[in-house]
Amino acid sequence: MHELTLYIGNKNYSSWSLRPWLALKVADIAFVEKLSRFDESTGHAHFIEFSPTKKVPTLLIHQENQKPVTIPESLAILETIADLYPDRHLWPQDAMQRAKARALASEMHAGFMGLRSECPMNMRRKIEAITVSNSVIKDVKRLEQIWSDCLEQSGGPFLFGDFSIADAMFAPVVNRLEIYALSDHIAVKVYSKAIKALPAWKEWQEAALKEPWIVQEDEV
């Protein structure tokens, strides 16, 4: 038996935190949520109290009579959850589809630097286009290609049919594409609608809108 504690950052801004939080909620896995606010004045120094990387998200796995196991890195957290709860099928069951989903989740984890640096997630930001670099335009084109290919092959509503870790990894991008008006592609519209209809997405967004804290560098 084990219990889970997930440390996350501000719901308005923390795109990496959203990923495992969303997967845990969609898979109906119980966990204790600990929100630790960003503090730009100290470089988020207090994150060291729970994470060796000083970053959110970080998962703690508590087992009886043992020291908690600490897992930083969103993708490692998602893999760990899939391992601990195999019956929730957080990866596609077919090996080839699973391989494809893993490749896409890794691509998201390691790439899309233009989009990630120029267009921060911001759940409360009003929709308003901004001028973006070619790197962002390239990232958006790649997302349009991934989402349209996956939805065409799976039939939706999620990238591999049922919600998977690939969706958890791409979910924050739904907000970025919307608030900076980056795409009119039909696959983006259809996929964004499916993600935003998740009760867990709505729960995260509602909480984000109630947060009073402003992180100036993420206000574009």
Site for ligand GSH, rule CB under 6 A: 9, 14-17, 43-44, 54-57, 73-75, 109
Min. distance of Cβ 157 from ligand GSH in angstroms? Answer: 25
Q: Which is nearer to ligand GSH, 14 or 151 (CB)?
A: 14
Shortest reach from residue 182's CB to ligand GSH, in Å: 20
**Nearer CB in complex with ligand GSH: 43/52:** 43
- Between CA 218 and CA 101 the distance in angstroms is 29
Q: Minimum distance between the CB of residue 9 and ligand GSH, rounded to whole angstroms?
A: 5
57 versus 92: smaller Cβ distance to ligand GSH: 57
| Contact by Cβ (8 Å): 106, 75 | yes
Within 10 angstroms of residue 57's Cβ, the number of other Cβ atoms is 22
User: In angstroms, rounded to a whole number, what is the distance separating the alpha carbons of residues 7 and 50?
Assistant: 8
Of 180, 114, 173, the residue nearest 147 (C-alpha): 173
* Smallest distance from ligand GSH to CB 72, Å: 6
Q: What is the DSSP letter of 48?
A: G
Closer by beta carbon to ligand GSH, 16 or else 191: 16
What element of type H or E holds 150? helix 134-154
Q: Which is nearer to ligand GSH, 75 or 90 (CB)?
A: 75
- Closest distance of CB 216 from ligand GSH, Å: 15
What sign for the dihedral angle of Cα 113, 116, 118, 119? positive
